[in-house]
């Protein structure tokens, strides 16, 4: 008897859709079987599709608060606007903004997100209450000020000590220096040393725009990736968001280092940052995960939309329809995210974390020649019916069981007044 049994679904196992039943106990998948399983809770999935839930590997969840307020701007003017508005954000606002993000993410089949932002205790609180899984870090920068740098690291460190491993292991807390153009090399060296001491990963924005690469070259005489490599910052415990502007040599450095890259296609398009060389990264064996970035630059947390953009952009980048295949896109959206952050999940296999999405077949799935293509190219998210995170059912028939959706939406709409005044 399992705590949850998902019976006879068309399950994505080892890169194929096969008919199987899945048993869940505690936080893990404990059985994959050809025969029906018994459970305290049983889902008949005979007409459903079962996939590992998605991992949104780079976001600033509470930026839902600023969604739609700074539009049609390129990154630098967008950032100036956003940074001005962010000064008005108070801790509790971050809680509500994150809750709204979590609603959207759960409805899109996302079980885990990696967040870099401010007032992170409130993000952790929202994650804890909602049943979501998350990798969290305080977004810090010294901006050339040594004293500020010391304070920032102290906040980042305290956040990790307080939350890492909390809520039955649903929260991983790591370091999040903002970017090489807002953090000095000395600061980044200290962050790296602390991260190694504490045994935690690092999440950082790198080479998102051409401007940023030129700025770092002007300041330090080296491109961001070369700089990070030279100061001993890059290794398999680092996750780089974006990596849009990389030359051949930098791709080689990344591969050697074992660092992961998060591809954020919609945000890169919207802020006209560019199209990263994902096809080549995959060929080189670099682990590439998928992210939405914050909703102020996206503007949604719809991972089906993100997968489709991820695929189409690479086709155009290389002028080749098979430059990145649908199965590689689905891996980016699932197991590659877990792998980037050192979590054993994103796969339907025994021992894997029980983060599972059960999908119905919407009209746009038919005829179902291969569910893989329906999921990557034609689904819109309404298909996600049940979501299991860490072995707990958090959404059933698209109703989130762990929070009050109405209340969250009302609260966020009310907060609008603060940012427009």
* Residues engaged in binding Zn ion (CB under 5 A): 293
**Distance (Å) of CA 413 to CA 90, 91, 97, 107, 130:** 15, 17, 10, 19, 20
Q: In the bound complex, what is the minimum distance in angstroms from residue 211's beta carbon to Zn ion? A: 15
In the complex, which residue's CB is closest to Zn ion? 293
Q: In the bound complex, what is the minimum distance in angstroms from residue 271's beta carbon to Zn ion? A: 10
Q: CB nearer to Zn ion: give 82 or 343.
A: 82
Q: CB nearer to Zn ion: give 142 or 293.
A: 293
User: How many whole angstroms separate alpha carbon 283 and alpha carbon 118?
Assistant: 36
User: How many whole angstroms separate alpha carbon 243 and alpha carbon 239?
Assistant: 10
Q: In the bound complex, what is the minimum distance in angstroms from residue 207's beta carbon to Zn ion? A: 12
Structure tokens at 255: 């591969």
Q: In the bound complex, what is the minimum distance in angstroms from residue 292's beta carbon to Zn ion? A: 9
Q: In the bound complex, what is the minimum distance in angstroms from residue 70's beta carbon to Zn ion? A: 14
User: How many whole angstroms separate alpha carbon 253 and alpha carbon 233?
Assistant: 12
148 contacts 186 by C-beta, under 8 angstroms: no
260 contacts 240 by C-beta, under 8 angstroms: yes
Strands of 171-177's sheet, edge to edge?
A: 54-59, 110-117, 133-140, 171-177, 202-206, 238-242, 260-263, 288-290
Q: CB nearer to Zn ion: give 2 or 242.
A: 242
**Distance (Å) of CA 176 to CA 122, 150, 219, 359:** 16, 14, 22, 34
User: How many whole angstroms separate alpha carbon 354 and alpha carbon 131?
Assistant: 13
Q: CB nearer to Zn ion: give 63 or 379.
A: 63
Q: In the bound complex, what is the minimum distance in angstroms from residue 101's beta carbon to Zn ion? A: 13
Q: CB nearer to Zn ion: give 152 or 293.
A: 293
Q: CB nearer to Zn ion: give 293 or 383.
A: 293
Nearest to 123 by CA among 137, 103, 110: 137
Q: In the bound complex, what is the minimum distance in angstroms from residue 17's beta carbon to Zn ion? A: 33
Q: CB nearer to Zn ion: give 78 or 365.
A: 78
């Amino acid at each position: 008897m399992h705590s949850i049994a998902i019976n006879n679904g068309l399950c994505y196992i080892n890169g194929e859709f096969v008919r199987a039943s899945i048993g869940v106990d505690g936080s893990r998948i404990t059985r994959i079987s050809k025969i029906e399983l018994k459970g305290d809770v049983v889902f008949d999935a005979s007409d459903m599709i079962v996939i590992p839930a998605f991992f949104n590997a780079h976001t600033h969840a509470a930026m839902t608060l600023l969604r739609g307020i700074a539009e049609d701007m390129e990154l630098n003017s967008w950032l100036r606007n956003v940074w001005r508005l962010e000064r008005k954000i108070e801790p509790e606002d971050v809680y509500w903004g994150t809750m709204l993000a979590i609603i959207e993410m759960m409805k899109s089949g996302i079980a885990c997100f990696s967040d870099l932002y401010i007032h992170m205790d409130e993000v952790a609180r929202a994650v804890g209450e909602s049943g979501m899984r998350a990798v969290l870090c305080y977004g810090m920068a010294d901006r050339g000020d040594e004293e500020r740098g010391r304070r920032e690291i102290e906040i980042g460190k305290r956040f990790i000590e307080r939350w890492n491993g909390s809520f039955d292991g649903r929260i991983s807390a790591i370091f999040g220096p903002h970017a090489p153009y807002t953090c000095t090399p000395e600061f980044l060296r200290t962050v790296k040393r602390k991260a190694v001491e504490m045994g935690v990963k690092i999440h950082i924005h790198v080479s998102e725009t051409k401007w940023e690469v030129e700025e770092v070259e002007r300041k330090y005489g080296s491109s961001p990736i070369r700089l990070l490599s030279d100061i001993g910052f890059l290794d398999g415990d680092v996750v780089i968001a974006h990596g849009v502007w990389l030359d051949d040599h930098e791709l080689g450095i990344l591969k050697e280092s074992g660092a992961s890259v998060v591809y954020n296609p919609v945000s890169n398009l919207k802020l006209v940052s560019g199209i990263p060389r994902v096809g080549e990264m995959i060929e080189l064996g670099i682990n590439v995960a998928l992210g939405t970035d914050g909703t102020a630059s996206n503007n949604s947390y719809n991972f089906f939309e993100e997968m489709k953009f991820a695929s189409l952009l690479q086709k155009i980048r290389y002028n080749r329809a098979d430059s990145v295949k649908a199965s590689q896109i689905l891996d980016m959206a699932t197991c590659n995210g877990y792998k980037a952050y050192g979590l054993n999940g994103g796969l339907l296999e025994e021992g894997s974390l029980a983060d599972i999405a059960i999908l119905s077949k919407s009209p746009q799935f038919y005829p179902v020649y291969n569910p893989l293509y329906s999921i990557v190219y034609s689904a819109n998210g309404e298909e996600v019916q049940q979501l299991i995170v860490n072995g707990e059912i958090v959404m059933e028939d698209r109703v989130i069981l762990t929070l009050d959706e109405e209340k969250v939406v009302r609260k966020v709409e009310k907060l609008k007044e603060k940012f427009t005044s």
